[in-house]
Structure 1
Amino acid sequence: MDQRLLIEEGDFLNLYKSWDAPTVIISDGPYGIGGFPGDPKSAKNLGKVYEPFIKAWAESSTPNTTLWFWNTELGWANVHPVLEKYGWEFVNCHIWNKGKAHIAGNANTKTLRKLPVVTEVCVQYVLKPEFVIDGNSLSMQEWLRYEWKRTGLPLSKTNEACGVKNAATRKYFTTCDLWYFPPSEAFEKFTKYANENGKVEGKPYFSLNGIDPISKDEWDKMRAKFKCPFGVSNVWEHPPLNGKERLKNGSKSLHLNQKPLKLMEIIIDISSDIGDVIWEPFGGLFSGAIAAHNLNRVAYASEINGEIFKHAENRVKSILDQPKLNLLLDQ
């Protein structure tokens, strides 16, 4: 297996076109709190800051891609409309609870008149597959029904095609919000049935290129990967980094908000497989790239701040010097 850990100094927008397409994108960029050079002092305009990145992510991704968007609650709220604009569909909001130990020095409640903040969010998005028919964009749910109707066969035949009593019509071809994504085995069955029994003049059915129906393997790539580890919910109880994992320059932390490798590994493991490509466009100290390395994924990461990059580069080199894997470091 070709396993690579590519880190680059510079703006992601000038670098990503040479990267392989991502299965996972980890965004841990500006929060709108003035925490570092280039971070706006307010979250109000974060949508404009992120828009060129979000557009680039969408253009480089497929329905197989998951985006994990780290931010404050307010920062995320301001960016969410831009994510939707470029086809990113909200899946779930995950809360990192740093615990009461994070309160110390974190809030003057008499002045701010609010409870201490000990959380931030990591929000899961996927790209919605869209199907353009006669200039109109259809969702997957709409497209499946449209294709079956083209066959001239009654909808009840979808059950016969899948070898079930009523599940296919009720789940895969319904117009209501109880719709289910058809598993590849079911998709293969009703696609074959449609092309064998549907009107000859409409063939092929369930095709994107007008020549061949979508294969089972191609269908599997029409939605993002996901597996739920036992015992993990959308609330992550983990203290902020203060121990050996925290990188410091003397007594001062190198990065305002270094993410725990454990949390990075959770989101990568949930949404990718060994050998998949992970992007970290706002690399910081490259916690996402290192977590990808730990899980035998291929990592591409960038960091625009030259000083931070030097420290992060040393961190990555120290990881690569360990005997676990023989990876390549490209600069």
Structure 2
Amino acid sequence: MPPVPPTARRPIQRELRPTLVLGNALDHYDTWPAPTVIVSDGAYGVSGFPGDPPTPDGLVDWYAPHVDAWSRRALPSTTLWFWGTEIGWATVHALLMRNGWAYRSCHIWDKGIAHVAGNANTRTLRKFPMVTEVCAQYVREVHLDSAGVSMPMKAWLRREWERSGLPIGLTNEACGVKNAATRKYFTRCHLWYYPPAEAFERLVAFANARGRPEGRPYFSVDGKRSLTGEEWAGMRSKFHCEVGVTNVWHEPAVRGAERFKAEARALHGNQKPVKLLDRIIRASSDPGDVVWEPFGGLCTTAVAAFAVGRRCYSAEIATQYHALAKERLARCTPPPPLAATRPASGDETQADVTAA
């Protein structure tokens, strides 16, 4: 059973600079607060950096210890964004699924024709020029206990109501709706709707008041108390979709002032645009949430996270990239203060963060 986020609320710390460590993220996962977002931009299987396997065949072994740590530390609400080539991602997909990551969507970064500018030798490559990368979205496959049986959330919700001995039709009365509960929240088909916190709390109160006394408490994962609406809401990954944004991202490769260069040479072979990292961070988190960047590079994820009030924890193993990223983060302007509160994640141990 996943950890249940507590109901306590804490002020958002909007001015906390990202934490950046020099070294392997595997040595730091257990010291970082549990993440709401993980942005993975590691090995591609193209010999892109020392230690990157020469082919995708070596990616499963490369990622296995990281995926194990992500799965162990993730919250029920954690979203993983996995960057790679199409064949690299496809190679790692089964590993992620085995470790409880549910595939949500594949996003295509279209860098545009200027990315190759006619320089690809197609006679030698024997294929059309590549101007894309993929970023796959995964969420946690959450299972909950019902009377000692572990099951997916959809089945758990129905099982808990059935345990009460009440007819399914009464779920509409419990929620104060005409038929939305039976048609959406308790449907057996694939078009299942996740009950919002308010509806969940009404279901809990109704079942505990009118259900079989011997089965109480209902909608509980420990047999001692029912989940709160806030805890129920924390069992699902966050997602905010801007109008007009699709899974195809037309964005030029990084150029100009954003690109890190030494004279005319790019210092990092695969620097991501801040705009794309900003998009996925805002889509899957709220201000104050924790973001992990296990393969920092130039720490574009940390830059984007800091700008929108998220707390980022980054690791970079290469001394040169670490130095550049540290300098880059030191120049970042803090976001404006925001007077708000948010649910505590349940696994946050640091009240103050500074760049290392």
Partner residue, 1:287: 300
Aligned to 1:17: 30
Which residue matches 1:253? 266
Please state how far the C-alpha of 1:165 moved relative to its aligned partner. Answer: 2.3
| Aligned with 2:59 (options 46, 51, 54) | 46
CA contact (8 A) 2:39 2:294 kept: yes
Taking a change above 3 Å as real, the CA distance of residues 135 and 323 of structure 1, as seen in their structure-2 partners, is closer
What is the distance in 1 between the residues matched to 2:302 and 2:243?
24
Match of 1:329 in 2: 354
d(CA) in 1 for partners of 2:251 and 2:39? 19
RMSD: 1.7
Q: Quote how far apart the aligned CAs of 1:107 are.
A: 3.0
Q: CA deviation at 1:47?
A: 1.7
Q: Structure 2 vs 1, CA of residues 164 and 171 (structure 1 numbering), >3 Å: closer, same or farther?
A: same
- The residue identity in structure 2 corresponding to 1:30 is A
What SS does the aligned partner of 1:263 have? Answer: helix
User: 2: CA distance between counterparts of 1:147 and 1:134?
Assistant: 9
Matched, 1:202 2:215: yes
Provide the C-alpha distance between the structure 1 equivalents of 2:62 and 2:19, rounded to a whole number of angstroms: 25
Report the alpha carbon displacement of residue 12 of structure 1 after superposing the two structures with TM: 0.3
SS where residue 59 of structure 1 aligns?
A: helix
CA distance in 2 between partners of 1:134 and 1:181 (Å): 21
Equivalents in 2 of 1:318, 1:252: separation in Å? 22
Using the alignment, how far apart are the partners of 2:262 and 2:245 within structure 1? 34
Q: Is the 8 A contact 1:67 1:125 kept in 2?
A: yes
Letter of the 1:54 counterpart: V
Residues 141 and 264 of structure 1, relative CA distance in 2, 3 Å threshold: same
Q: Distance in 1 between matches of 2:73 and 2:214?
A: 35
SS in 1 for 2:354: strand
| Aligned position for 2:144 | 131
Distance 1:216 1:134, change over 3 A: closer
Partner of 2:102: 89
| Structure 2 equivalent of residue 302 of structure 1 | 315
Q: Secondary structure at the match of 1:123?
A: strand
Instruction: Give, as a single letter, the amino acid of the residue that structure 2 aligns with 1:257.
Output: N
Residue in 2 that maps onto 1:71: 84
Cα distance in structure 2, aligned partners of 1:159 and 1:208: 23
**Does the CA contact (< 8 Å) of 2:18 and 2:306 recur in 1?**
yes
Q: Are the equivalent residues in 2 in contact too, given 1:45–1:78 (CA < 8 A)?
A: no
How big is the shift at 1:115? 1.1
Instruction: Report the equivalent of 1:275.
Output: 288
Larger displacement relative to structure 2 (199-208 or 170-179) = 170-179
Q: 1:207 to 1:134 in 2, by over 3 A?
A: closer
Which consecutive residues of structure 2, in runs of 5 or more, have no partner in the other structure? Answer: 1-11, 338-351
Aligned length: 329
Q: Distance in 2 between matches of 1:47 and 1:95?
A: 22
> TM-score when scaled to structure 1?
0.95
Following TM superposition, where does structure 1 have runs of at least 4 consecutive aligned residues deviating by more than 6 angstroms?
Answer: none
Q: Which residue of 2 aligns with 1:161?
A: 174
Task: State whether structure 2 residue 58 is matched by structure 1 residue 33.
Answer: no
Q: Percent identity?
A: 51
Letter in 1 for 2:112: G
Q: Which residue, 199, 202, 216 being the options, matches 1:189?
A: 202
Structure 1 gaps of 5+ residues are none
Can you list the C-alpha shifts for 1:58-115, whole angstroms capped at 9, x where unaligned? 1111121111111111110001101101111111111100000112366321122211
Partner SS state of residue 299, structure 1 = strand
**Aligned letter for 2:309?**
N
Partner Cα distance (1:185, 1:170) in 2:
17
The alpha carbon displacement at 1:324 in A equals: 5.3
